[in-house]
Structure 1
Amino acid sequence: MKNLKLIALFFFILINFLLAQRMGRFSSDEIEHRHKGFDERFFYSIWLNPVQYEENLILNYHIRYDLLLFEKAPGDTFKAKVKVILELSSLDILAPIRNIDDVVIKSTDFNQTISKDAYFISNFSLKVPNKKFKATLTLLDETRNKEISIKNFDIDLNDTSSFEPVFIKADDIIHLNSENLKNRFYNFLPFSPEKYILVLPDGEDFSSIEIKDEFVNYKLSNKISTGFRYSIFDLDTLDLIEGEYQLKYSSSTKTKTFFVRWISKPEYLKNPERAIKILKYLFENTNDFEKSTGNQKEMVRKFYSLWKKFDPTPKTPFNELMAEFYRRADFASNEFRSVSQPDGALTDRGKIYLIYGKPDSVERSFSKDGRAIEIWTYNSSRNLKFTFFDENKNGNYILQQ
């Protein structure tokens, strides 16, 4: 009976998910970008010596909208003004090389200005001396009078063997020489439903590579021909979930670290304890997670494996159903919280929202003694109705059986 209930809940979530798919002085913050200090609100990627461009250094940057302060402007628009400054310094050059982008970002949608999914993306395309540089990337929010800097990082154009792994969408392979691609590459592999490929320098060192961590070990050969001097690898069949990996090349004698990152990861998933706690709505036994104090990477693997059996696209590592479940958890956590329960995902309304999604209609009324009542109706092929009652008048609605 429990298994039948679980299967039914799975299909309710899956159907709902598929339907949704159609439808002066500056204060200063410093961001540690490299590796575990990555900050998804403001980040960059670099491409060293791209053979298809005249410039020898491309640095693109992403600024998430909710990092900025937007002001109301004429014409029902919202506007943010920022400066993005890239400074390159070297012992071999007297004065630093300074590049400044003056950026004005406009939007007619207020919700977009506070979005955790919307980004402004641009790039610096530079022809600079073949030196080793210390680089600093700084964002000046002129509206808020706030400065955000990414800590010094190295850019080595002096060493011809120096490179950063470049990841692009598989569909963009035909646009490898396009100017638009300058904004559309990453030094990490984005964890998403999109298919990505790995672009590495040309040469014998990269005729074959290994990608590995303590759980996986993949050996890949350069199989994609583009007409450009690159070694390109298809990653479509690899089970690469979030985390740190080693890229081995030159007959596996040299290594490079790279990461798989979920850029728009639901906030609820960033806290493992919270993410595991609400699994009780779907899974019969979560004791292994709740009591475990073992290896963090192993726990992440177990977590993804648990969800894999309910993955609508099981041949890819990204699980759309899991992502939708935790996006709902983010919404429910804020929307249904109360004085007695600050996490709305743990309330009765939160539970129903997580399982069934947004109701088709909500009726609100009051009982004779002034207690609030909500009736949620799901019409689309389910004909379900749930009644919630604010028994204690504190905003924590209880599901009536």
Structure 2
Amino acid sequence: MKKFLTVFVIMILTLPVFAQVEHSGDENPIYKSFPGFSVDIASYKSDRDDKTRVDLFVQVPYQNLQFIKDPEGYRAKYSIHIKFSEKDSEKIAIESTWNETVVAKDFSATESRSNSNFSVRSFEIAPGKYAMRCEVVDRDSRKNFVIEATATVLKLSDSLSVSDILLVSSIIKDAEGEKLVPNINRRVTTDDSSLPFYLEVYSDKKRDIKLEYDIKDKEGKKVFVEIVEKEVQPGVNRIVHEIDGAKFSLGEHVLEAQLKNFELENVANVSKKFISKIAGFPDTITDIELAVDQMMYIATPSELDFITSVDDEETKLKRYRDFWKSKDPSPGTEENEVFIEYYRRIDYANSNFGNYFKGWKSDMGMVYITLGPPSAVERHPFDMGTKPYEIWEYYHINRSFTFVDNTGFGDYRLTSSPYGDWFKYSQ
């Protein structure tokens, strides 16, 4: 009996495994932002001396939710779980879960990249550094997204102090006053020249202060400086300010607010990181040099040389945009389907095929990005007498590709290089 079981197990392990690579070519590709949602926190003065009020903001794009048709239109349901743990002891300081429901009137609204649902919660917590974990779970598909980060909760005094910075995407003025729409994902575009934000200054008396606002680029160089003089009153002073005339290069920036007394002595300093992206392009494109390098499977060497032959970033961005504009199959619409699908494949390759180097540079990445998802995949991870290998079939071009893991560490290499006019980018 034992002998029979052993043979039976070996037979199972040596059978070819047939599977479909994720993101089937039959699907309508939708670019989903990573990591699936955005979260931001801001520290404000609490009524309790030993606590700080922390406002938590969560933004979930409609595209990352599963909508189900009901009598009111299309409905999506998800839960948010937040946990703050002390960095040193891992003791849980805050833990909370709540549910959200979103209703869209028509199906097109569920697919729009501009639609998101916003949530805000406030907590009282002691100042300090915390390990923050925020999880969003779609209650129908059970798909989950997680963000983990270090959260610094400020200690704010009554004498003179400043809250965290909250970036603002828009300011709505109506009969009730001003309403701020927070910029939770902390994104601006290279076309923007303004940056609105909100903060609070706390003072124990009426006094004159100065606020210095600085913007630093990804190299740490100051690209904008503004000093504003203000008279603050005792208590909470709510400040909405808009930096105007700034120029944002592609990539990460830091906005700093320095609170100074009228003798220009620094009292407090707060900062907020934000990302500048190309207008109309996915958030993942934040490095123009890398984005151009990744075009090697769709652009010719001369086209790449033309884009990279200038040092001026603005000109390089224009040439980059012009290239993708020439590939747009529906120039009259907001979406450039070729661009979106191409960089979706880049992201998928980086997530699934990376080993000794980035997935987009791997053999599997090259084939996946160029030809898209295979029609079928035959996996042989445990065949006796052979190294692990996979066979990818592409029925529409009548070709197959064999990848072998020679090292045993998941570094699959093509057994033969693809040559010929047939091996070119296709949707």
State the TM-score, normalizing by the size of structure 2: 0.50
Q: Distance in 1 between matches of 2:293 and 2:183?
A: 32
The answer to whether 1:58 aligns with 2:69 is: no
Question: Where does structure 2 lack aligned partners over 5 or more consecutive residues?
Answer: 1-32, 203-207, 323-329, 342-369, 373-425
Q: Distance in 1 between matches of 2:278 and 2:77?
A: 24
Q: Distance in 1 between matches of 2:119 and 2:278?
A: 17
Cα displacement (A) at 1:149 = 1.3
CA contact (8 A) 1:209 1:252 kept: no
Alpha-carbon displacement from aligned partner over 1:40-81 (angstroms, at most 9, x marks no partner): 6301122210689x982211110011112222x332622222
CA contact (8 A) 1:166 1:187 kept: no
CA contact (8 A) 2:277 2:283 kept: no
Q: Distance in 2 between matches of 1:146 and 1:170?
A: 30
Cα displacement (A) at 1:148 = 1.6
Q: Which of 323, 336, 352 is the aligned partner of 1:330? A: 336
Q: Distance in 2 between matches of 1:244 and 1:109?
A: 36
CA contact (8 A) 1:165 1:188 kept: no
Q: Distance in 1 between matches of 2:168 and 2:45?
A: 14
Cα displacement (A) at 1:93 = 9.9
Bigger CA radius of gyration: 2
Match runs of 1:197-346 below 5 Å? 197-202=196-201, 207-213=211-217, 214=219, 217-222=223-228, 229-230=237-238, 233-248=241-256, 249=258, 256=271, 258-262=273-277, 265-267=280-282, 270=285, 272-273=291-292, 287-290=305-308, 300-304=313-317, 330-331=336-337
Question: Whose strand proportion is higher, 1 or 2?
Answer: 2
CA contact (8 A) 1:200 1:206 kept: no
Cα displacement (A) at 1:211 = 1.9
Q: Distance in 1 between matches of 2:55 and 2:243?
A: 23
Partner residue of 2:112? 115
Cα displacement (A) at 1:117 = 2.1
Match of 2:244, SS state, is coil
Question: Whose helix proportion is higher, 1 or 2?
Answer: 1
Partner residue of 2:76? 80
Partner residue of 2:126? 130
Over 3 Å counting, the alpha-carbon distance change for 1:131 and 1:211 in structure 2 is closer
Alpha-carbon displacement from aligned partner over 1:160-202 (angstroms, at most 9, x marks no partner): 6685322225635899987x54x52447353376954233453
Q: Distance in 1 between matches of 2:58 and 2:92?
A: 24
Q: Distance in 1 between matches of 2:306 and 2:222?
A: 22
Q: Which of 25, 35, 39 is the aligned partner of 1:44? A: 39
Alpha-carbon displacement from aligned partner over 1:203-222 (angstroms, at most 9, x marks no partner): 88862232233565322022
Cα displacement (A) at 1:113 = 2.0
Q: Distance in 2 between matches of 1:269 and 1:152?
A: 19
CA contact (8 A) 1:85 1:101 kept: yes
Match of 1:125, SS state, is strand
Match of 1:202, SS state, is strand
Q: Distance in 2 between matches of 1:151 and 1:176?
A: 37
- What percentage of residue pairs aligned between the two structures are identical? 13
Partner residue of 1:140? 137
- Report the residue type matching 1:244 in the other structure: E
Alignment size in residue pairs: 282
Q: Distance in 1 between matches of 2:193 and 2:176?
A: 17
Match of 2:75, SS state, is strand
State the TM-score, normalizing by the size of structure 1: 0.52
